[in-house]
Amino acid sequence: MAAARKNYTLWNLIYLISICGTANSLFNQPKAVIDPPDSFVIIGETVRVTCSSSELFKGDVSQVQFKITTNNNAWFLPTENQTDLGNSVVQTYVHVTEQFSSITSLSCFHREKQVRSTKIYTEKPLMRINITKIFFEDRGSYVHFTWLSNTKYYIDPDKIQTKALYSFGGQPENWTTDGTACGEIPDFLCDANQAIGYNIYIRFYVSYSTLRKRPGLDYLQPLFDTQVSSDYNFTFEDIRKTTPVTDVQLKDVGKVCTNVTWTLPYYIAEICYKCPQLLYMIELIEGGNEKLLIEGTQRPPASGQSVQVCGLTPFTQYTLTVRVKVQEVNPWSDPSIPIQLTTAEDRPLAGPLLMDTGYHTERSCNNGKRQMLIYWK
C-alpha cells in the first residue's frame, strides 16, 4: 500500500508539473495590445482604438477584426473602416450609441481568435437643453439656459463642467473663431442683444472631471477629456415686456385728428430694425371716463415716425398714453407718461339762415329800437 501511495503521489506530481508547464507556455504566448486599455465615453462620442502585436501579426493586419459585446448583443465592426498604420498596428473607430451597455467589451481578434479585450464604460449625455428665460432690457439682453442631467452610472452631476458658445444668423464653420462664449457663471448668461428675429446656434461643451466611482482600474481616464458638443438651433422671441416709450409729442392738433410721435427704448430703436413690425396702442381718456383705443403697426425703426390719430371730438380735452410691443406674443409695455390733449374748436364759417323770425316785447318796453344778437355753436 505504501509503494502504491508513493507511486500515486509521483504520478500526481508529474501531472501537476505537466499542467503548470502547459499553463506557463499558454501565458507566455504573444498577446496583442489595445490602446486605450479602457475608456470612459459619453454616448454619441467616437472612440479611436488601435490593436498591435508584432509577434502575432508579423506586419500583416489583414486578419485582424474588432468585436463589440454588450449585455444582449455582439457584432464585428466593418473591416473597411480599419486602417493599417504600419508596424503591425491596426486602427479603427468605434461610434458609441444607445446600443452600448454601461460596460461594453471591445475585443481584438486575429485569425478568428480573440487576442485581447478591453472595456468601454459608457455614460449618457446631457439632455433637454432649454432656453428658460430671455431678458430684454435697455442695458442689454440675456438668455438663461438649463439642461437635464441624464447621467446614470459614473458621473457626479454636481461635478459637471460646462461652457457654451453661441452664434447668430447661421451655424459657424469654425466654432473656435466664430463662436461667442457665454458668461462663465452657472446660469449661462449669454449676451443676446442682436437675438431678436434671428436664429441662434448654441454649442454646449460638457466636461466630466470627477467620477462618482471609478469602474475599477486606476489608469482609466476620460477619453478626449470627455467633451461632447451638440448644436441647437433656436429662433429667439422677445417674450419680455419692454420699457415704456418716452418723449411723447403732439403735432398738428386739429378738431378731430392729431399726429403723435414718441421715442422707443434703446434695444428696439437700435436693434429691432430686423423685426418685421412694431405694434402700438394709443389710449385716449375723455373726461376721466370714456376711453378711445387706437391700435396699429409700424415698420421699424419707428422712433420719430408720426402716427395720425383721428375720430376725436372737437374742443375736447383728452389724456393720452402710448404702449408698444415687438410682436403679438409680447405683453404690452407699461403706458408712457400721460400728456394732455385738447382738440381745436369747431366754429361754423357762417351762421344759419333765420326764417320767419319774430321778436316780441312787452308794450311797456316798446319805447325805442332794440338789437337782437343770435349765437350758435
Task: Say which residues have a Cβ less than 8 Å from residue 286's Cβ, sequence separation at least 6.
Answer: 292, 313, 316, 317, 318
Cα–Cα distance measured from residue 61 to residue 33, given in angstroms and rounded to the nearest whole number: 13
Q: Computed from CA positions of residues 25, 26, 28, 29, in that sequence, does the dihedral angle turn out positive or negative?
A: positive
| Cβ proximity of 141 and 195 under 8 Å | yes
Confidence bin at 309 (pLDDT 50/70/90): very high
| Cβ proximity of 192 and 200 under 8 Å | yes
Cell of 61: 493586419
Angle at 115 between CA 113 and CA 119, to 5 degrees: 115
Cα–Cα distance measured from residue 179 to residue 201, given in angstroms and rounded to the nearest whole number: 9
What's the order of all strands across the beta sheet hosting 46-52?
Answer: 33-35, 46-52, 89-95, 83-86
Look up cell 415698420; give the residue. 299
The residues spanned by each domain of the chain are 33-123, 127-235, 246-342
| Cβ proximity of 237 and 329 under 8 Å | yes
Looking at domain 246-342, does it have CATH number 2.60.40.10? yes
* Burial status of residue 69 (CB atoms within 10 A of its CB: 0-12, 13-18, 19 or more): middle
Read off the DSSP letter of residue 241: P
Residue, of 235 and 156, whose pLDDT is higher: 156
Cell of 130: 432649454
pTM: 0.44
56-107: pLDDT as tens digits: 888 788 899 999 999 889 999 999 989 999 888 999 999 888 889 888 999 9
Residue, of 336 and 326, whose pLDDT is higher: 336
Q: Which amino acid is at 260?
A: V
pLDDT for 368: 64
Task: Say which residues have a Cβ less than 8 Å from residue 287's Cβ, sequence separation at least 6.
Answer: 317
Look up cell 468601454; give the residue. 120
- The number of angstroms, rounded, from the C-alpha of 172 to the middle of its chain's C-alpha atoms is 15
Residue, of 173 and 239, whose pLDDT is higher: 173
Cα–Cα nearest to 135, from 26, 242, 12, 244: 242
Cα–Cα distance measured from residue 185 to residue 191, given in angstroms and rounded to the nearest whole number: 12
Cα–Cα distance measured from residue 273 to residue 266, given in angstroms and rounded to the nearest whole number: 12
287-300: pLDDT as tens digits: 767 788 889 887 76
Cβ neighbours of 120 (radius 10 Å): 23
- Average pLDDT (45-53) is 87
Cell of 294: 387706437
pLDDT for 322: 94
Does position 358 have pLDDT exceeding 80, yes or no? no
Look up cell 500500500; give the residue. 1
SS3 116: strand
The architecture CATH gives domain 127-235:
Sandwich (2.60)
Cell of 297: 403697426
Same fold across 33-123 and 246-342: yes
Q: Quick one: 33-123 is in which CATH superfamily?
A: Immunoglobulins (2.60.40.10)
| Cβ proximity of 130 and 80 under 8 Å | no
239-286: pLDDT as tens digits: 567 788 899 999 999 999 999 999 887 666 665 655 667 889 999 998
Residue, of 221 and 55, whose pLDDT is higher: 55
